[in-house]
Homo-oligomer: A and B are copies of this chain.
Amino acid sequence: MPRMSAVVKERAGPGVRLIERDIPSAGPGEVIIRVRAAAICGTDVHIYEWNSWAQNAGIKLPIILGHECAGDVVEVGRGVDNLVVGDRVAVDTHIPCGTCRLCHTGRQHICQNLELFGVHTEGCFAQYARVPAACAWPLPQEVTYEVGALFEPLGTAFRGAQVLEPAGKTVAVFGCGPIGLFALASLRALGAARTIAIDVSPTRLELAAKLEADHLINPAGNDLAAVLIALTDGYGVDAFIEASGNTTALSQAFQALMKGGRAAIIGLPEKNLELDVGSDIVFKEATIFGIHGRLMFATWETMQNMVVSGRLQVESVITHRLPLQDFAAGIELARSSSAGKVILLPWQKKE
């Protein structure tokens, strides 16, 4: 049986290992992808660290990490009629059941029985990966594998930007990790009049500046809500995206939100948020959108069209490219606040 390299968590507890595994083969409705680029996500870091979220996420060990990737279809399982060998594809992490009420009504990405690629199934930090054909999105030649590997998180951020109807608005983005950076780029591409990037890390604010954020704010030592209200003639921001997972940020965001404003929440705080429902939501008639994924595949199509035409440019978010065996360094980078997106290249030889 042919073998491949894969980043595997073998047992409960911190850490992962690069080991040899059998190359998978495609079952009915599945395809095998030769992984050409994979990206490290916060979820991978959680599994690496084996934090409380990871311990309770229903992960069956051992498991290959990773869920953001692009590559070539090399095998097509029975009953798959939307893909052929040789297709270039990216992958949506959300594996829908296909039969629940959510799946029946165009909301497969929040399927009632949702499974996650790379969490509940073997992932893509490997030379090959097995994915449901229903999760594979064909990439045109104009999209590189590296950018294709970004489409999953970019799609989340892009959809967060879309629901805000940002054209002509002033929008604050709390947290400039990869999701926040993608949100800034998306907002700009969708016509936001002004974007405000907020992060404690100067490195991340520099990355935000490359995406043409109009204001860069380090909340350290600032009354953030007051600063935002001053920037907007006393009205507050038209909308915000929460991508920091920080409840203090989220509280300030609601204070700084204009009457009639919109909020997209993507970040997952570790502790509960305290909300003054009257002043934060009711009196100002806030509209709040929880965002957990991308429409399969309406979001993908819109986003991809904008990437192909150059309206949406996100390459600058990639700060590091590493061969697969340097996964540990990659995960350290992703944990730090000194990186944008870290790409693993399973077929690149270490120099």
Contacts and interface: CB of A to CB of B under 8 A. Distances in A.
Interface of A: 28-29, 78-79, 81-82, 98-99, 101-102, 104-107, 110, 112, 162, 167-170, 189-194, 214, 234-235, 247, 250, 259-260, 265-269, 272-278, 281-293, 295, 297-298, 300-306, 308-309, 311
A268 B260 contact: no
21 contacts: A82-B98, A82-B99, A101-B235, A101-B301, A105-B297, A106-B106, A107-B285, A112-B259, A167-B189, A167-B190, A168-B303, A169-B302, A192-B311, A193-B306, A250-B277, A265-B282, A268-B278, A284-B290, A287-B287, A287-B289, A287-B290
Given A274-B275, A287-B288, 6 more contacts: A78-B79, A81-B98, A81-B99, A167-B191, A265-B277, A285-B290
A194 B194 CA distance: 23
Contacts of A308: 193
Given A284-B290, A292-B282, A193 B259 contact: no
A281 B291 CA distance: 8
Contacts of A234: 112
Q: What is the total number of copies of this protein in its complex?
A: 4
A147 to B, nearest CB: 15
Given A266-B282, A277-B265, A306 B168 contact: yes
Contact of A275 (B275, B292, B295, B304): B275
Contact of A272 (B28, B194, B276): B276
A247 B280 CA distance: 14
